[in-house]
Structure 1
């Protein structure tokens, strides 16, 4: 499948600070690709390089099959961009500002702007300077989506939005994918990426820690389980689980009484849960609760691997 974005050993240095360390990425056309990392990981720098807002120090980037540096306005009209630090001021109305952007981005379908504004709950008649941070973010989303670009590049797109509008934004992303558009978005909120993206790249200190589809990431995630066992002691359960390395933080409460015999157990299971279930299957299980895998805990663990802390300062 053709690639919407491809980078090869892409690096960016600001003086003595290296913001990107040889980034290799491949984003297929029609995919939703999430870029996640803590503040200072290099997410914004990478997006700016892809859009030719800043130039790479070394390496190569291709966007929609073209090198950003030489493609000029023709390529930019095929991209919808929402910057992470959106600054909108002026005494003009939202309608007037979007008409200005439409002259730059190219043809906008009739009523497209009004439909998007209604979905996001945005009053386009108000002066831009009077809008709250959240409403300015909505205005930025409308200008990114309104011309139905082949590629959407969205840097922290839900910043300042209330939960209901965030859900509407996620619906817009799903619809863009169905229309064949590519979405490249960054966030430090894992749940947002989890709901929106097909593939996730985890960035830390300007390096790609891992690239994975969301389902594979879930399979390596951490979950908490609570189990009630009718016919086993804490010692018996501990022995049964001793050989399973992905089960930790075991805690037991032994119950007494004629109608409460047995043991309650809690545990932390990393990755696949099948070995844990097979180990307790020899006993009588009264109840079992397995929480939704904690992707955030798993990703935070990945943040602390492989990358050098010394290079993080100054990256965006």
Structure 2
């Protein structure tokens, strides 16, 4: 079952492009990565799905319901961590979280305290006394305290130190294991690679690729590193070879195509070392932007 269905979703701010003809779906229980640089349209897409802004054209459904006509109803079962968090500076953390919990049915007290303990959040401090990273922790607890079915994370780890980032990822994996569907937007590609099974790449407001991460890596080029005597730039002059670099006795290059062609070349050379690797998500991503 699709939790999110987006069809030709378009948003213009006057004449300025937000997103254009964006289409994708996310299945129940999935962690879907949405990647692109700042300004690509990631936050605009999330705000449209939350019905915080309305589309210029196209449509989106969450839980099978249109986001424009059923916005308030849909948002009861959604958790949202925006990329930037702003709060009433004079409030204590505990009062802010209780205020947030009051918008939902049911008692969120136990869950609120469990999450605060996990994220090492000091409940009696004032918002004005918190660092940016600690305010982000408040946002994480606030987004999860009502046990949502769907979680939107927009650049969630900015401001968190590496140890807290690890705790956060573990927390998201636990939520997902309980059945929570996660929409994870980021420009930090290593995060997406660690957490997500499927990814959409957005560039200048348009989707350029949707694929599971494994397929994305396999269908892209391979990184090849060969060490041998007398290698030159022409040693691997084959169709599909790009980005050739020669250093001392080594040749590094990217290859897309039938890897047997490269292996045949290598078999005719007395090599000292060979490595053939899949590219990182970062390298794949740069490939779409070059």
Equivalent residue in structure 1 for 2:241, among 246, 249, 255? 246
* Worse-superposed segment, 185-194 or 172-181: 172-181
| 1:186 paired to 2:181 | no
In the TM superposition, residue 210 of structure 1 has moved relative to its aligned partner by 0.9
Equivalent residue in structure 1 for 2:252, among 246, 257, 267? 267
Q: For residues 121-162 of structure 1, what are the alpha-carbon distances to aligned partners after superposition, in whole Å with 9 as ceiling and x for unaligned? A: 221121112111100001101111122211001111111111
Matches within 5 A, 1:129-168: 129-168=128-167
2:224 and 2:255 in contact (8 A); partners too: no
In the TM superposition, residue 164 of structure 1 has moved relative to its aligned partner by 1.3
Match of 1:102 in 2: 101
Secondary structure at the counterpart of residue 153 of structure 2 = strand
User: In the superposition, relative to structure 1, how do residues 16 and 287 fare at CA in structure 2: closer, same or farther (>3 Å)?
Assistant: same
Q: For residues 70-117 of structure 1, what are the alpha-carbon distances to aligned partners after superposition, in whole Å with 9 as ceiling and x for unaligned? A: 224332110001112211233222111111111113335553222222
* Worse-superposed segment, 188-197 or 88-97: 88-97
In the TM superposition, residue 187 of structure 1 has moved relative to its aligned partner by 0.8
* Residues paired across the two proteins, number: 289
2:240 and 2:257 in contact (8 A); partners too: no
Match of 2:279 in 1: 293
- Please give the TM-score of this superposition, normalised by the length of structure 1: 0.84
Q: For residues 236-287 of structure 1, what are the alpha-carbon distances to aligned partners after superposition, in whole Å with 9 as ceiling and x for unaligned? A: x944x3224235414163xxxxxxxxxx322122457833344313444332
Matches within 5 A, 1:25-44: 25-44=24-43
User: In the superposition, relative to structure 1, how do residues 234 and 54 fare at CA in structure 2: closer, same or farther (>3 Å)?
Assistant: same
1:79 and 1:150 in contact (8 A); partners too: yes
Unaligned residue ranges in structure 1 (runs of 5+): 254-263, 305-316
Distance 2:163 2:173 in 1: 16
| 1:281 paired to 2:267 | yes
- More contact order relative to length (CA 8 Å, sep ≥ 6): 1
* Worse-superposed segment, 241-250 or 56-65: 241-250
Matches within 5 A, 1:1-316: 2-109=1-108, 111-221=110-220, 224-229=223-228, 233-234=230-231, 238-239=234-235, 241-251=236-246, 253=248, 264-271=249-256, 274-275=259-260, 276-290=262-276, 293-304=279-290
* Worse-superposed segment, 275-284 or 92-101: 275-284
Q: For residues 183-222 of structure 1, what are the alpha-carbon distances to aligned partners after superposition, in whole Å with 9 as ceiling and x for unaligned? A: 0121111111111111111111111111111112222456
Distance 1:30 1:202 in 2: 20
Secondary structure at the counterpart of residue 283 of structure 2 = helix
RMSD: 2.3
Unaligned residue ranges in structure 2 (runs of 5+): none
Distance 2:3 2:278 in 1: 33
Distance 1:114 1:167 in 2: 19
